[in-house]
Amino acid sequence: MFKVLKTSGSARRGILTTAHGEVQTPFFMTIGSAGAIKGLIPSEIRDLGGEIILANTYHLHLRPGEEVVAKAGGLHKFMNWDGAILTDSGGYQVFSLSKIRKLKADGVEFQSHLDGKKIFLTPEKAIDIQLKLGSDIMMCLDECAPYPAEREYVEKSIALTTEWAKRCRTFFKKNRRFVINHEPTTNAPRLLFGIVQGGIYPDMRKKSAKDLVKIGFDGYAVGGLAVGEPKDVMFEVLGKTVPLLPKDKPRYLMGVGTPQDILESVERGIDMFDCVLPTRNARHGYLFTSKGVVRIRNEQYREDFSPLDPNCGCMVCQNFTKAYLRHLYISNEILSLRLNTLHNVAFYQNLMKGIRHSIEEGRYNEFKKGFLRNYR
């Protein structure tokens, strides 16, 4: 299922085979929370080099409901995407979106952010929903400790996460044959990932990693980072956590991050990323370019009839000027959201292509330095 093709330092270039195709690693998953990328159609993601996207169990459970998606033949068919899909477990959204959240041994009770309805999510339920969505990579339900959190809280939290991971694994093994199996393009099975927690405490991370590896998963995520801790703390924890994970399994850093974050994390051996940054920042007019972030609303672009990024081959940079993108943004045009998103997604996919290519050629460090020299 996962094969490391080449390394450059600790950076890895590999292939992860899913039920919906091979995915080249390291990769970045564009977020389609509700089964849609903001303003883009699936074929555009594919054209930009995206082979896998991320959808949210929490969002899809609330709307339209996994039963509707299952009746449609699974999420791939529902949204017309034939690439791979990773679904998170809903644990993080319960943590970040719900007003109330009651942790119990059996699961977590929370309120829908849409209508306030109370929902009880268990490890089994989280996997059941993901099976009904027909996800290619499913995530265990975890508890994401806030930052800062006391040692004692984190200790209990990882014990709960480990317990839930066991139950997810059991339920997954027993029921995975019931997955919505819309036209899988390979013979690969569906995958289940565990999530290493432990806050900023290296010994907790160690315990969490050891427990999860013992249970055994198809891949391991590092969760609970980028939740407010300083960057140097994040990379210190990451640097200590990655070596605890099996070399032959993919490693996924959840919810990260900026181009710089991604470069630093690949260097530490991370293979998979997802983040709202490219799509959310697009909607706020923050556009990624090879020279850094352009805030397109700025007056300086009023009569700037040059492309956003002359080094970018995307449809936006090939057809429109900064002055026009600024005009669309200032005028609240829907086209602004679409074009900005397309460009930012293209930028992230191109970054990952550059990363993969440089690892193949054994010059990852050089690539990283070159990128950061221009990017301000």
Q: Which residue ranges make up the site for its own copies (CB under 8 A)?
A: 34-41, 59, 63-64, 68, 71-73, 78-80, 302-303, 305, 315, 319-321, 323-324, 326-328, 330-331, 333-335, 337-339, 341
CB 1 within 8 A of CB 17: yes
Amino acid type, 44: E
Active site residues: 88, 274
CB 138 within 8 A of CB 195: no
SS3 (DSSP) at 364? helix
The distance of Cα 309 from the centroid of its chain, to the nearest Å, equals 25
| 16 to 32, 43, 247, 273, 288: CA distances (angstroms) | 20, 21, 13, 13, 27
Nearest approach, Cβ of 35 to its own copies (angstroms)?
7
Nearest approach, Cβ of 78 to its own copies (angstroms)?
6
The distance of Cα 358 from the centroid of its chain, to the nearest Å, equals 22
Nearest to 53 by CA among 212, 78, 72: 78
Nearer to its own copies, 149 or 287 (CB): 287
Nearer to its own copies, 67 or 150 (CB): 67
SS3 (DSSP) at 222? strand
Nearest approach, Cβ of 36 to its own copies (angstroms)?
5
CB atoms within 10 A of CB 176: 16
CB 169 within 8 A of CB 215: yes
Nearer to its own copies, 272 or 337 (CB): 337
Nearest approach, Cβ of 68 to its own copies (angstroms)?
6
With 0-12 CB in 10 A as exposed, 13-18 as middle and 19+ as buried, what is 276? middle
Nearer to its own copies, 15 or 119 (CB): 119
Nearest approach, Cβ of 311 to its own copies (angstroms)?
20
Nearer to its own copies, 1 or 330 (CB): 330
Return d(Cα 263, Cα 282) in angstroms, integer. 20
CB-based contacts of 228, cutoff 8 Å, min separation 6: 146, 147, 148
